[in-house]
Structure 1
Amino acid sequence: MSIEIALRSARVRYGALEALHGVDLPVPAATVTVLLGRNGSGRTTVLRALAGTVPLSAGRVVWRGADVTRLPAHRRARRGLCFVPDRRALYATLTVAENLALSAPGRDPAPALDAYPELRPLLARPAGTLSGGEQRMLALSRALLAPARVVLVDEPALGMSPVVAARTHRLLRGLCDRYGAAVVVAEQRPPAGLPGGSPVHELRRGTLSFSGELAEFTSRAARERRPPSGRASGREG
């Protein structure tokens, strides 16, 4: 499995606070990599470090063997990186149609509207008036309309119904299958519908606490939730 992009011993500081403590994160090509963690764990900072929207205080970002640590975000985007943040991912005062046009100038918006037909009757609406789930659909259209080599998505299913969330994860997996994209999704819990062999990394307080496969992670989580053997059932005999 070839590595498309990676963090190497990455540290990020926000003032006096160090948000990442020497994180090593390989992102394989043509694969969905899942980055798990609670709010404040460092998930978003990892995506921003890969995208170049926050600088590293130490460590490197390596993309296909080249050190791109000092490459600014707009140049990473030109090289084929798409970052969909969890907030401020839209132009709120522009219509849905205008946001789609800006996502991929000169391209037919049909692929995004086919993926999310819920957006069709909303084309004339300002993006800021949409529900949370509708805004996430519109934000994700950027990745669907202009397929990239690296796609980073912060909480893709935020505000979506379970059915639409499952469809969203299938669409992201489709970017790997059709275009060979390396996709990273940051979530609070494991998404449904991904292969058991999908790589998973869990962050706690800016440090990786688990790296392995999705099936391994879910099995471990199930064991941790299971009551200890010999525990009283609560009924007296």
Structure 2
Amino acid sequence: MSVEIALRAARVRYGPLEALHGIDLPVPPATVTVLLGRNGSGRTTVLRALAGTVPLSGGRVLWRGDDVTRLHAHRRARRGLCFVPDRRAVYATLTVAENLELGAPGRNFAPALDAYPELRPLLPRRAGTLSGGEQRMLALSRALLTPARVVLVDEPALGMSPAVAARTYRLLCDLCDRGAAVVVAEQRPPAGLPPGTLAHELRRGALSFSGEPAEFTYRRRSSGRA
């Protein structure tokens, strides 16, 4: 299996608390990788470690074989990494149009409005006044407008209606079709994942399962944890 980006024996500490305990996580290109787990399991920290927004206390981050452990987040972004966090993912004091312009090469943000036409009548509004689902659509538009090689999204469908959530996952799958490595963090496997999707469950900062989403769901049901 070819690898786009990976964590190798990665450890992350928040003060005296170790949040990741030596995780190995390969992320292949042109594939959706789903990080599963409850709040506090470490899935958000994995995304932040890949993005460079939290430093490792041990281990490495490799990107196409290059050690980028000490590469700052903005440098990783310039290399083609797009990170959409679950909170503070938009510039609240800027309008929707201004947010889109920041992420649009040549200020052409038509693809974002084609993907999320709900944003069109909101263009003059400040992003901080939008609902949670509307802010999520705006934040995800960055990934659609930026030609990224790695796309990291924490809870993509947070606050969205089921129909918009399903559309969002189709859009993320489209990015995979263009060759991007897409990593999402969710509490449980979302519907509509494409064939070849990889799932990893985290518990207390360690990987407890790696395999296909269907296998993960079957194991949970068999153990009575569904």
TM-score range, shorter chain: over 0.9
- Tell whether 2:201 aligns with 1:202: yes
Provide the alpha-carbon RMSD of the alignment.
1.3
Structure 1 residue 223: Cα displacement: 1.8
Residue segments in structure 1 that go unaligned for 5+ positions in a row: 228-237
Give per-residue Cα distances to partners, 1:27-62, cap 9 Å, x unaligned. Answer: 010000000111111111100000011110000000
Percent identity between matched residues is 85
TM-score w.r.t. length of structure 1:
0.93
Q: How does 1:35-46 map to 2 (within 5 A)?
A: 35-46=35-46
SS at match of 2:106: coil
CA distance in 2, matches of 1:111, 1:14: 38
Matches within 5 A, 1:1-237: 1-177=1-177, 179-225=178-224
Q: 1:226 to 1:44 in 2, by over 3 A?
A: closer
Q: CA deviation at 1:195?
A: 2.4
Q: In terms of mean alpha carbon deviation, does 190-199 or 71-80 score higher?
A: 190-199
* Structure number, greater radius of gyration: 1
Structure 2 runs not aligned, ≥5 long: none
Deviation at 1:113, TM superposition (A): 0.4
Alpha-carbon distance between aligned partners in 2 of 1:98 and 1:35, rounded to the nearest angstrom: 31
State the AA in 1 paired with 2:49.
A
The answer to whether the Cα contact below 8 Å between 1:197 and 1:215 also exists between their aligned partners in 2 is no
Shift of 1:217: 1.0
Aligned length: 226
CA shift at 1:197, angstroms? Answer: 3.1
Q: Distance in 2 between matches of 1:131 and 1:116?
A: 14
Return the offset for 1:220: 1.4
Q: Does the CA-based 8 Å contact 1:86-1:153 persist in structure 2? A: yes
Question: Is the partner of 1:86 in helix, strand or coil?
Answer: coil
Query: Is the contact between residue 91 and residue 127 of structure 1 (CA under 8 Å) also seen in structure 2?
Result: yes
